[in-house]
């Protein structure tokens, strides 16, 4: 009888050990489904450091697309010569975060997560502008000046570095499946970048000067814009604060 009890106890402990090894893996690979639906594709790897703490690294990328929230953007970037209908953006970002869990299980329950984010946003900005050309005299007669209306496409990258925090709840649904619900958070930092238009060969200097003057009319507080003409190019450098809200999101993961 005693031998039977010992064997049964060993089998029970072995079964519990196997169950815990299935449920209690130290790693989770997951993706934010709500961001994926908006074509902001992402992948996160989270690893448990101890019972209440984990470290994760995520990468997100969004292919080039129309500028979202155009009406809102036009309030922050005030220049009627910018064509917001053809404004394009793409971005990618790396986020490193530490999570502090308040639950009783590893990587489970309510958490607070401070993080640092490093992003690159690629932009295409179409700008309408006009310049005046005066033709040379013909037989002592000066032709009337001609106004030429055209557009330029500024291309470039804006880099950002920011820190922030958010909170949420993570649960284990099945043996290997994890549900992570982000509630809300935000980040703040700095940004800088450069946008450039390379004019076709033969473009008159007066056209480049007119384009610079048009860009100089842009009001984009709190961002600072400085535009210069260099050779056959018009270059706009930008710097300023960078902020964002990390809204509600649903993330699904695989624990191993």
CA 153 to chain centroid, in Å, comes to 22
- How far apart CA 110 and CA 249 sit, in angstroms, is 15
Residue 105, classed as helix, strand or coil, is coil
Measured CA angle at 162 (ends 161, 165), to 5 deg = 155
> What's the rounded Cα separation, in Å, for the pair 181 and 135?
66
Residue 139: helix, strand or coil by DSSP? coil
Contact between residue 59 and residue 42 where contact means Cβ atoms under 8 Å apart = yes
Number of helices followed by number of strands (H, E) in the chain: 4, 10
Question: In terms of Cα–Cα distance, which of 104, 102, 89, 86 is closest to 152?
Answer: 86
pLDDT at 23: 56
CB distance 107 to 28 below 8 Å: yes
As given in the structure block, the two tokens for residue 169 are 């709840």
pLDDT the model gives residue 12? 39
Secondary structure of 166-218 in the HEC alphabet?
Answer: EEEEEEECCCCEEEEEEEEEEEEEEEEEEEEEECCCCCCHHHHHHHHHHHHCC
Q: What is the mean pLDDT of each run of 10 residues along the chain (256 residues)?
A: 39 40 77 89 96 96 89 84 95 97 90 98 97 78 86 97 97 91 95 97 94 96 95 97 90 95
**In the prediction, which pLDDT does 145 show?**
85
What are the angstrom distances between the C-alpha of 209 and each of 38, 200, 204?
39, 15, 9
pTM for the model stands at 0.83
Task: Kindly state the tokens that stand for 81.
Answer: 């010569």
pLDDT at residue number 224: 95
pLDDT, residue 24, reads: 61
Exposed, middle or buried: residue 85 (CB in 10 Å: 0-12, 13-18, 19+)? exposed
């Amino acid at each position: 009888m005693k031998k039977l009890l010992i064997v049964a106890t060993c089998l029970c402990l072995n079964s519990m050990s196997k169950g815990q090894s299935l449920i209690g893996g130290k790693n989770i690979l997951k993706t934010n489904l709500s961001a994926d639906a908006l074509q902001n594709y992402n992948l996160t790897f989270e690893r448990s450091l101890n019972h209440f703490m984990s470290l994760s690294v995520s990468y997100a990328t969004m292919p080039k697309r129309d500028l979202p929230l155009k009406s809102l953007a036009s309030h922050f970037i005030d220049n009627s010569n910018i064509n917001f209908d053809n404004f394009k953006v793409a971005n990618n970002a790396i986020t490193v975060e530490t999570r502090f869990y308040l639950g009783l299980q590893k990587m489970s329950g309510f958490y607070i997560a401070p993080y640092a984010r490093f992003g690159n946003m690629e932009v295409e900005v179409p700008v309408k502008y006009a310049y005046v050309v005066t033709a040379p005299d013909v037989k002592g007669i000066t032709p009337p000046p001609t106004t030429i209306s055209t557009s330029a496409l500024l291309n470039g990258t804006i880099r950002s570095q920011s820190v922030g925090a958010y909170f949420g709840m993570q649960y284990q649904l099945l043996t290997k499946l994890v549900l992570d619900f982000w509630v809300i958070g935000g980040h703040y930092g700095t940004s800088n970048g450069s946008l450039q238009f390379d004019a076709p060969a033969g473009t008159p200097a007066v056209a480049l000067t007119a384009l610079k003057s048009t860009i100089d009319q842009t009001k984009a507080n709190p961002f600072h814009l400085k535009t210069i003409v260099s050779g056959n190019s018009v270059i706009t450098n930008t710097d300023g604060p960078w902020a964002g809200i990390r809204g509600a999101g649903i993330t699904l993961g695989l624990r191993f």
